[in-house]
Amino acid sequence: MKELRPYLRLLGRRRLWLLAGGGLMLLTAAANFGLLALSGWFITATALAGLALAAGAGMQLDIYTPGAGIRLFAVGRAVSRYAERLINHEAVFRILADLRVWLFRHLLPLDTATLAGLRNGDLLNRLTADIDALDHLYLRVLGPVAVAGLGLLGGLAFLAWLSPAVALTIGLVLVPVTLMAGWLTARHARKAAGELGELGGRLREHLVGDLQAQAELHVFGAVRRHLQKIKALDHRRLRAQQRLAVIQALAQGLVLAGMLATLWLALQVGIGQVQQELVSGPVLVAILLAIFALGELVMPLPQAFLLMGKVRWSASRLTELADTPPAVTAPPQPAAAPPDNRLAFRNVSFRYRSNQPACLEELDLCLEPGERVAVLGPSGSGKSTLLRLALREADPAQGSVLLGGTDLRRLDPAVPHDRMSWLSQRTTLFAGSIAMNLRLGAPAADETALWRVLEAVRLADVVDQLPRKLESWLGEGGTGLSGGQARRLALARVLLKPAPILLLDEPTEGLDHATEQAVLQDMEPWLRGRSLLIIAHDRHRLPRVDRRLVLRGGRLHTEDPTPWRRDP
């Protein structure tokens, strides 16, 4: 059960809700037990009293007290069941919220390279299906098992008071059969549940990937081949579901057979006790109907043990994801934030893998406050890596990156993140309004500031033509804007953030020449007084800078008179 320990601790945070919900579940089971037992006794006693009166015998029967008890149990069962649904579902929603927050707290420290190594479909499956599977942990597994255990103990104690022999019969038959069914289910279902979860994750991964790449699949004529792969996965998943259904059906059949055997044996023992006048006929009927109530407690147990396999498998996957180590960690005792914003690289070397050549080697660079430096170079030369090191998305293998004279490894990661604004190669926009996407950079920015920065990137006219202006909704990844417009919106967000250091990675990538030159000119007021480290392939795709350097062979060189790339 070690896979569930972190999640049991999360459940402990909501223990008051869970105790209230579990108490209501137990109260509902007790009301159901009392209703069946008392109803059986009352109906039988009334029938016997009627027969006695018809035969001319005198007999007295209090119908008011048991009638009131039946009404109490009936109304109490309905009320407690309704309250239990409210309490338990509220508890589960709160637990799922706690679980999502817990998982995201573990994911947020991960750097972009580590997150990029996770497959999108697999990550989505863990964030959705695996988290959703854990809502069964209390509601379908722990709760029913606990209530069944306590309910059986309480029910057997009550029946032992009525008839010890019948209670012993129930304890010797129904309890062992139920335990055996649960053990067999848990033993055989975990492997099948893990296979089902694995196939479901792979199927979701293929569906997400194929939907994202549907244009390429059509262009290269690969649609039919991928559909066949998805169909084969779906058939395998269906077979795994069928195996689980068979296991559950056999386990429930075993429990049902045990309950019927218990009922038959209890009837045989009870008839003998009635003949010996140890118990009355109405009491025997009450005992038999009480066995049905106990059966309702144990019938959900095979499904609970079946779900336990899926829950444990999902829990192990989420724990594996949460335990993914970040590439960089905060120091135990962070140094004080430096007073100035001088950014310096000192003898920096970096490689992504130990068996690969260094993409940066003994590199030195100093960016003074307010200075603008451009780094040029071909793809794969290490330009983007330079910006990642500046943000401490990774640590150099050798040398150090300094902010205000303090090594970034000695600072709280929030310090460089607060002082730097980064435009990465990948344009990231969220499903939300244009204003919301912009305010990620400056939450307190008013509409005037938003329109000003949109004008700087030549998007104000585009947004002004939209029906809801700044509140116009963008889809995931900026759906609703062209690639160039999405890139400019991301640039506007970076400019809007009041950070003293700007890190721009190909800010005008994907723009035509006229728009590019207009954006580079209009963004000048937003660059004034700020340090700028910008990387590009082409010197003509730059704003005004103080220095232009070329990154070749992992080292920085003063730009050659003859450019490495022929000017257009």
Q: What is the pLDDT of residue 446?
A: 87
Q: How confident is the model at residue 340 (pLDDT cuts 50, 70, 90)?
A: confident
Give the Å distances, CA to CA, from 303 to 1, 187, 249. 18, 13, 9
Give pTM, 2 decimals.
0.74
With residues binned 3-state (H G I as helix, E B as strand, rest as coil), the percentages for the chain, rounded to 5, are 65, 10, 25
Strand 531-536 and strand 372-376: the pairing is parallel
Is the model's pLDDT at 113 over the cut of 70? Answer: no
Q: Is the dihedral angle over the CA atoms 86, 92, 94, 97 positive or is it negative?
A: negative
Residues whose CB falls within 8 Å of the CB of residue 420, separated by 6 or more in sequence, listed in order: 390, 391, 499, 501, 502, 503
Q: How confident is the model at residue 31 (pLDDT cuts 50, 70, 90)?
A: very high
Tokens of residue 92, six digits: 């589960």
Distance between alpha carbon 326 and the CA centroid of its chain, in Å?
Answer: 19
As a residue count, the chain comes to 568
**At 182, is the pLDDT very low, low, confident or very high (cuts 50, 70, 90)?**
confident
pLDDT tens profile 380-430: 777 888 888 888 888 888 888 888 888 888 888 888 888 898 888 877 888
Distances in Å between the Cα of 440 and the Cα atoms of 182, 481, 493 are 51, 18, 7
Region of poorest pLDDT, from 36-40, 343-347, 440-444: 440-444
pLDDT (tens digit, 9 = 90+) per residue, 128-165? 778 888 888 888 888 888 888 898 889 888 888 888 88
217 or 253, which is more confident: 253
Q: Which domains does the chain have, with CATH numbers?
A: 2-54+62-322 (1.20.1560.10), 343-558 (3.40.50.300)
Q: Would you place residue 75 in the very low, low, confident or very high pLDDT band (cuts 50, 70, 90)? A: very high
Is 560's pLDDT higher than 60? Answer: no
